[in-house]
Structure 1
Amino acid sequence: MIIDVHSHIISPEIVRRSPMPASLGDIEGAIEAKQDAGIDLTIVGSPSGASTMVPADCVDGYQRPFDQLRSYHDWLGGTVQSYPRNLRAYAYCDVYADEKSLESTAEILRDPAFVGIIANFSGADGYLDSSRCDDFFAMLAEVDVPVLLHAGPTPACGNGVTDYGMLEMVARSCDATLGLAAIVLSGRLEQYPNLRFISSGSGGATSALADRIDFAWKPAHWDDWIGAQRRSKKTSDLPSGPPARLGVGGRTNTAPSEMVRKLFVDTTADGPELHLANLRVFGPEHILFGTDAPPMPTVFRDKVASIRALPITVAEQERIFSGNALEMFDIQDITATEPVTAASR
């Protein structure tokens, strides 16, 4: 059994009014192509709510009128009901959502068609270490579902990037890297130890930088300057240097290089290099099969073959293909109200 935890579809109403790859509207075509490659179930969602990922198509980057977002979720839930053997869905939630929107997200998740939340690594002016996200994290702890973190149409790190191709393929990977580091340094993984975050984009460069984040937490190379600052009674006598906050460390009490291993990543990266790095840092127990297709022009058989080619056991392959997802998501067979398992497929 293979479960694709990262894919997108768009409603006909959005297709009519917005620019997007045509594949996002071809639901049956995507299902058939995946079935041909042995992919049984796909979890779909929109990382931009009731809009597309084109920045010009968004209002304030992420926000849409409440009724539009609710209409999109109604369509998405109905679509899953039409393909109960092939689809499940994520409910979109703005990380800066107000109380009404957070309550609506919790309500949507009562529908068994929805098995998780899709949210962004960053908002228009910051990352998930912002106090503006406190209510979002409190809601996540209450609903207790996995969260697919995905770059939004205008990631915070993309400010000043005018080439859309670079924004889409490079800045959004940088957003994943910064977003995961912000979560780890913020202490939220200690505050909410049961939260489960899956990073799209295979975690960006997190596996390459996991140990280096420790220096952002406790920058030993600034110890001399920090010591002088603390010993001085006249701050005006100090040479100019980094902000006073430097050296205090993040809000996590545990080394980020250890905390980062609580995160999960998908397999959307192309080529074996990042998969191998992720195996070293996260292990096969924290990697889930994901294609980002639609809209990415993925050859599904090649994607499946790339995971089978990794230097891991067959049992570890099966964890990546479906075992981890089945443990993480409450996936019910909508037609029979029975849990979906590898044997039942």
Structure 2
Amino acid sequence: MSTDGLIDVHAHFVTDSYVRQATAAGHDKPDGVPAWPAWSAEAHLELMDRGGIETALLSVSSPGVFFGDADAARRLAREVNEDGAAVVREHPGRFGLFASLPVPDVDGALAEIAHAFDVLGADGVVLETNTHGVYLGDERLEPVFAELARRHAVVLLHPTSPVCWEQTALGRPRPMVEFIFDTARTVTDLLFAGTLERHPDLRVIVPHCGGALPVLADRINGFMKLFMPAEPDAPDAVAQLRRLYYDLAGPAFPRQVPALLGLADPDHLLYGSDYCWTPAPAAEAHAASFSEAPAPVDGTTWRSLTATNARTLFPRLSR
């Protein structure tokens, strides 16, 4: 594999069992998308080889694993994490895993964090932007973030539908617009709750070029200064946002990346395909764009830059 092999931090998998359980819970058209995608490790590897993707870190996308019943969510999280870990073991060096957690069940989430890292060797965890309206800044989730920070964990955020989607989505698939704003909503909630400031050891990946955050960052910063008690040495919202990582899944070029570069440092940018929810032809075209667009750091390409950043964030990928 080339040294410019991409490291995909935003790649998804589904299993037949997961689809059955999500469909039974009412997600027959997940987030307004007409049908569930098909996935297999073999098809994924073929796509990776065609696109020059060295390693893909797998995660379960929206709607996550919590459908209203905490015990069922615990069982489903354990099931998909075991399934994902089996794929990683069967294809050494080609896959990694972001484990799912059954939030907002805090006790279940803490148990699954221990299992994911200590037993399965997960590379990080994935958290949906909200679960039935519980956003990530909710004080009930503080023990989860404290434990993730203690472990210096990498946390991939993934958008999902807001509870008000029936009024706001206007009958259209929610990934188009709702996901972008729910990402901004939950990161803003983390900022106002002080979660990111309390836990600087958290390493958070914001998806889809930051969603709406690049154009909202200064507005959020202004409102935080107006309505939150100021501390002399506390960084502002923009400084906290700059500490986060951002994946470039979705239509990154030609407009979203320039906006993101006004907020994020180049060494915090990562490649993401969004396969299997992004169909293979579109994922291949997206991967090709990382060879075509000019990179923001002299002497690099988007492929080498994002791969180097990923190996720094996930040292095991360099071994």
Q: What TM-score do the two structures reach when normalised by structure 1?
A: 0.78
Q: Counterpart in 2 of 1:254?
A: 235
How far, CA to CA, are the matches of 1:316 and 1:189 in structure 2? Answer: 31
Match of 2:312 among 281, 303, 327: 327
2:41 paired with 1:27? yes
C-alpha separation between the residues in 2 aligned to 1:133 and 1:15?
27
Kept after mapping to 2: 8 A contact 1:14/1:50 = no
Residues in 2 aligned to 1:314 and 1:62: alpha-carbon distance in whole angstroms: 50
CA RMSD of aligned residues (A): 2.8
Aligned residues: 301
Q: Which amino acid aligns with 2:270?
A: L
The structure where helix makes up a greater share of residues is 2
Write the letter of the residue equivalent to 1:323: T
Deviations 1:266-285 (A, max 9, x none): 11131321111112210211
Per-residue CA shift, 1:40-67, capped at 9, x if unaligned?
Answer: 100011145775xxxxxx6239983422
Residue equivalent to 1:336: none
Query: C-alpha distance in 1, partners of 2:50/2:37?
Result: 17
Counterpart for residue 310 of structure 1: 294
Residue 115 (str. 1) matches residue 138 (str. 2): no
The reply to whether residue 179 of structure 1 matches residue 161 of structure 2 is: no
Please identify, of 106-115 and 27-36, the stretch whose mean Cα deviation from structure 2 is larger.
106-115
Report the alpha carbon displacement of residue 147 of structure 1 after superposing the two structures with TM.
0.5
Aligned to 1:194: 201
1:291 alignment partner in structure 2: 273
Q: Please point out which of 145, 155, 164 is paired with 2:162.
A: 155
Residue 267 (structure 1) aligns with: 248
Distance 1:302 1:314, change over 3 A: farther
CA distance in 1, matches of 2:230, 2:91: 48
Q: Distance in 2 between matches of 1:214 and 1:125?
A: 24
| Contact map agreement 2:130 2:136 (CA 8 A) in 1 | yes
- Gaps of at least 5 residues in structure 1 are 52-57, 220-245, 332-339
2:263 pairs with 248, 267, 281, which one?
A: 281
Relative to structure 1, is the Cα distance of residues 254 and 62 closer, same or farther in structure 2, using a 3 angstrom cutoff?
Answer: farther
Q: Which secondary structure state, in structure 2, belongs to the residue aligned with residue 107 of structure 1?
A: helix
Taking a change above 3 Å as real, the CA distance of residues 122 and 310 of structure 1, as seen in their structure-2 partners, is farther
For the pair 1:43 / 2:57, whether they are aligned, the reply is: yes
Q: Deviations over 1:217-250 (max 9, x none)?
A: 123xxxxxxxxxxxxxxxxxxxxxxxxxx46469
Give the number of the structure whose alpha-carbon radius of gyration is greater.
Answer: 1
Query: Is residue 195 of structure 2 the alignment partner of residue 214 of structure 1?
Result: no
**1:99 corresponds to 2:114:** no
Give the whole-Å Cα distance in 2 for the aligned partners of 1:50 and 1:261.
27
Q: 1:3: which partner in 2?
A: 7
Q: What is the aligned-residue identity percentage? A: 23
Q: What is the alpha-carbon distance in structure 2 between the residues aligned to residue 311 and residue 68 of structure 1?
A: 40
Describe the SS at the equivalent of 2:126. strand
Q: Distance in 2 between matches of 1:212 and 1:50?
A: 30
Gaps in structure 2 of 5+ consecutive residues: none
